[in-house]
Amino acid sequence: MPELPEVEVTRRSFAERIANAQILAMHMGKPLRWPLGVATQSLVGRTVLGVRRRGKYLLLDLDQGLLLLHLGMSGSLNFAPSQAVAGPHDHMDLVTNLGVLRLHDPRRFGAVVWAASESAPEAQKLLGRLGVEPLDGQFDVSTFAEALKKRQSAIKQVLLAGDVVVGVGNIYASESLFLARIRPTTKAARLSRPRIERLHSAIVQVLNRAVMQGGSSLKDFVNAEGRTGYFQLEASVYGRAGEPCRVCETPIRSLVQGQRSTFYCPQCQKP
Ligand SMILES: [Zn+2]
């Protein structure tokens, strides 16, 4: 599923091109995870001021209100001067004078939701519980350490929950913990300050590298320009159960935590 880096890569691939576009029409296909919450007709004539990201949501700021977009499990966006006739998995076309933004989402866990403002209930319902952004200045090591001290669950679970730091999904949590040499099952509250510092910088490093490389937790991930990412090719542990650790050659192990697969090196990553 698209994780934070893929969503950020998607944002960068069309944010500048769609800025100042005027909405000419909006077409919605089959129902998505949540309803749009407004008549499509009422968006005609609005201007797209820009595109921000909060966690895995893209926020299209309009001159009145905003649209929150989520890619769900399998969604991708494409922004192009024109689009072919919508196929069975194309569920939104935002037609503007600068191009058409299309959401393609075979599994339909994605969403397009209108909100009057970011603080309106319909937006807060989706954004309200999100932790700090790992890729901007708010993510500081002391606050991170304070938050972890209060958590009795496994560090991997805490990262995935998204309320301490947002957008560190399954792949990037596994990779960050490998880089920080921390066993995914270690209780968050038991991590020492030096280990937390290593984890903090590992998260930033892993996410930034994924964004730089074009982001891909999905083999078929494509950004809004139609280019694929290749992060998956370089994973240290994710998806490599039984294969030798790239550092010490011990076979990588996998286990299931909270119904998600976790991968780690039993030699490099200490409990
Ligand atoms: Zn190792």
Q: Distance from the CA of 269 to the center of ligand 1, in angstroms?
A: 7
pLDDT at 129 > cutoff 90: no
Q: 2, 5, 134, 184: which one is catalytic? A: 2
Band (234; pLDDT cuts 50, 70, 90): confident
Band (230; pLDDT cuts 50, 70, 90): very low
Q: Distance from the CA of 178 to the center of ligand 1, in angstroms?
A: 8
Q: 3, 6, 8, 175: which one is catalytic? A: 3
Q: 11, 46, 53, 56: which one is catalytic? A: 56
Q: Distance from the CA of 219 to the center of ligand 1, in angstroms?
A: 25
Q: 33, 225, 260, 266: which one is catalytic? A: 260
Q: Distance from the CA of 263 to the center of ligand 1, in angstroms?
A: 11
Give the angle 237-218-206 at the CA atoms, nearest 5°.
Answer: 45
Band (225; pLDDT cuts 50, 70, 90): low
Mean pLDDT of 99-113: 95
User: Global pTM?
Assistant: 0.84
Band (123; pLDDT cuts 50, 70, 90): very high
Band (6; pLDDT cuts 50, 70, 90): confident
Mean pLDDT of 239-243: 94
pLDDT at position 1, please? 75
Q: Distance from the CA of 175 to the center of ligand 1, in angstroms?
A: 12
Q: Distance from the CA of 177 to the center of ligand 1, in angstroms?
A: 12
pLDDT at 220 > cutoff 70: no
pLDDT at 92 > cutoff 70: yes
Is 219 one of the annotated active-site residues of the chain? Answer: no
Band (211; pLDDT cuts 50, 70, 90): confident
pLDDT single digits (tens) 21-74:
999 999 999 999 999 999 999 999 999 999 999 999 999 999 999 999 999 988
pLDDT at position 5, please? 86
Bigger pLDDT: 214 or 253? Answer: 253
Q: Distance from the CA of 173 to the center of ligand 1, in angstroms?
A: 16
Is 260 one of the annotated active-site residues of the chain? Answer: yes
Q: Distance from the CA of 212 to the center of ligand 1, in angstroms?
A: 25
Q: How many CB atoms lie within 10 A of CB 32?
A: 22
Mean pLDDT of 114-143: 92
pLDDT at position 223, please? 60
Q: Distance from the CA of 242 to the center of ligand 1, in angstroms?
A: 12
Residue type, position 40, single letter: T
The overall average pLDDT reported for the chain is 91
pLDDT at position 74, please? 87
Bigger pLDDT: 229 or 62? Answer: 62
pLDDT at position 224, please? 60
Q: What is the 3-state secondary structure of 54-102?
A: ECCEEEEEECCCEEEEECCCCCEEEEECCCCCCCCCEEEEEEECCEEEE
Lowest average pLDDT, out of 2-16, 59-73, 189-203, 246-260, goes to 2-16
pLDDT single digits (tens) 163-177:
899 989 898 999 999
Bigger pLDDT: 136 or 215? Answer: 136
Mean pLDDT of 231-247: 85
pLDDT at position 212, please? 81
pLDDT at position 137, please? 81
